[in-house]
């Protein structure tokens, strides 16, 4: 939010957020914060509630319980800043031409940047006089992204934005997104199943599964508290001396074991240790629904009454 942004400001705060559909709870007791100006990956298995969470943030859905604030205000209110939400199905008026869609963006959004929006459309050689309904899925995504970025939002919510783009378009539009975020201090929250897409893009992560927040925090902070251990297995399983370290996941392959641990003290022993990559970290948490949750200090909300299930790093 322009000049008002400082490192400690929260773009998003969820306090005990819960969402119940007819068939039951999808999100329960979710508490975390996303500091302003960060680029955050939102990861979780199919049906984990990522779209639901993004929709609550975009003020498309009301939570069943708890509360969410956007820049300290209720979602959708004037004080919550400008939010762009790129939904998974990229709903656009199919009978409008690309030019008409951009004109609509201009009319509805004070501070609209026609040139930025046009540049994105032009980079994909999408004709301005083409009807949206005649475009390919990837071209529609490009127009939807042009619309989202033309707003110069304070908060950009993207639900699997790159899924139907070709690899070149993906790279180019990710670049446009990062340039926008760097220039305007935009906070970005982006769901994806392609973990490799997050590397070198995100500096923050939120993992949802089993209805709750499993992992949340600054990427460097999250990586630094985990250790990947590789060695020769001891009898049937992990070496006994590894057992006192909190374990996220272990895997055995032949005589070798690999384990991701969250050590309280240096994990020295007859094995090799390394830092996990972001992808290794995410995969380990996704594969191990019973691993203890971790909300790092920068991702914790202050209201402890809602925050009882978090674990300090
Ligand atoms: N409008 C709705 N009515 C009832 N149930 C719903 C509705 N929307 C979503 N759900 C259910 O809520 C759960 C979470 O759905 P959601 O789309 O938020 O998950 P997701 O993490 O985005 O999944 P995916 O990775 O497959 O896109 C699913 O079990 C889904 O069936």
Interface predicted TM-score (ipTM) of this complex, two decimals:
0.98
Ligand 1 touching residue 21 (CB < 6 A): yes
Same domain? 111 vs 205: yes
Q: Last residue of some domain: 162, 182, 217?
A: 217
Same domain? 110 vs 206: yes
Give pLDDT, residue 303. Answer: 64
Return the ligand 1 atom nearest residue 52 CA: 18
Ligand 1 touching residue 35 (CB < 6 A): no
In the chain the first and final C-alpha atoms are separated, in Å, by 29
Residue nearest (by alpha carbon) to ligand 1 atom 29? 47
Q: What is the pLDDT tens value at each position of the chain, 313 positions in all? A: 443 333 479 999 999 999 999 999 999 999 999 999 999 999 999 999 999 999 999 999 999 999 999 999 999 888 877 899 998 877 778 899 999 999 999 999 888 999 999 999 999 999 999 999 999 989 999 999 999 999 999 999 999 988 889 999 999 999 999 999 999 999 999 999 989 889 889 999 999 999 999 999 999 999 999 999 999 887 777 888 888 889 999 998 888 999 999 998 888 888 999 999 999 999 999 999 889 999 999 999 986 444 444 444 3
Residue nearest (by alpha carbon) to ligand 1 atom 6? 21
Return the ligand 1 atom nearest residue 208 CA: 21
Distance (Å, whole) CA 191 – CA 282: 13
CATH code for the domain of 128: 3.40.50.300
Judge whether 300 lies within some domain: no
How many domains, the chain? 2
Two tokens at 36?
């302003």
Give pLDDT, residue 237. Answer: 78
- Residue 3 has φ and ψ, to the nearest 5°, of -70, -20
Ligand 1 touching residue 276 (CB < 6 A): no
Handedness of CA 35, 41, 45, 47 (dihedral sign): positive
Residue nearest (by alpha carbon) to ligand 1 atom 30? 47
> 116 to each of 74, 102, 103, 122, 177, how far by Cα in Å?
29, 11, 13, 10, 11
Return the ligand 1 atom nearest residue 88 CA: 27
Ligand 1 touching residue 206 (CB < 6 A): no
Longest CA–CA separation in the chain, Å: 69
Q: How far is the CA of 196 from the centre of ligand 1 (A)?
A: 23
Ligand 1 touching residue 93 (CB < 6 A): no
Q: Last residue of some domain: 150, 184, 217?
A: 217
Q: Which domain holds residue 238?
A: 220-295
Give pLDDT, residue 186. Answer: 95
Distance (Å, whole) CA 151 – CA 226: 39
Report whether 112 contacts 150 (CB < 8 A): yes
Same domain? 243 vs 277: yes
Q: How far is the CA of 284 from the centre of ligand 1 (A)?
A: 23
């Amino acid at each position: 939010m322009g000049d008002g942004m400082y490192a400690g400001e929260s773009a998003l705060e969820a306090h005990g957020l819960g969402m119940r559909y007819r068939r039951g709870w999808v999100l329960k007791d979710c508490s975390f914060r996303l500091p302003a100006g960060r680029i955050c990956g939102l990861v979780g298995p199919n049906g984990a509630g990522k779209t639901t969470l993004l929709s609550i943030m975009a003020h498309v859905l009301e939570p069943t319980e708890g509360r969410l604030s956007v820049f300290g205000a209720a979602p959708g209110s004037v004080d919550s800043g400008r939010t762009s939400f790129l939904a998974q199905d990229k709903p656009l008026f199919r009978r409008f031409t690309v030019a008409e869609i951009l004109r609509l963006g201009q009319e509805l959004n004070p501070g609209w940047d026609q040139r930025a929006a046009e540049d994105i459309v032009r980079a994909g050689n999408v004709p301005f006089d083409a009807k949206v309904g005649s475009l390919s899925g990837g071209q529609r995504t490009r127009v939807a992204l042009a619309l989202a970025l033309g707003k110069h939002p304070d908060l950009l919510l993207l639900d699997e934005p790159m899924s139907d783009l070709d690899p070149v378009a993906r790279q180019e539009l990710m670049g446009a997104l990062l340039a926008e975020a760097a220039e305007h201090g935009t906070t970005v929250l982006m769901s994806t199943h392609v973990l490799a897409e997050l590397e070198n893009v995100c500096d923050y992560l939120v993992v949802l599964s089993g209805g709750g927040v499993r992992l949340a925090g600054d990427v460097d902070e999250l990586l630094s508290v985990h250790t990947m251990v590789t060695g020769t297995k001891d009898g049937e399983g992990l070496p006994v001396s590894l057992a006192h370290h909190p374990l996220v996941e272990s895997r055995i392959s032949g005589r070798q074991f690999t384990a991701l641990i969250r050590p309280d003290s240096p994990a020295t022993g007859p094995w090799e240790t390394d830092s996990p990559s972001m992808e290794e970290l995410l995969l380990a948490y996704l594969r191990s629904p019973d691993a203890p949750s971790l909300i790092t200090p920068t991702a914790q909300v202050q209201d402890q009454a809602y925050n009882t299930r978090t674990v300090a790093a």
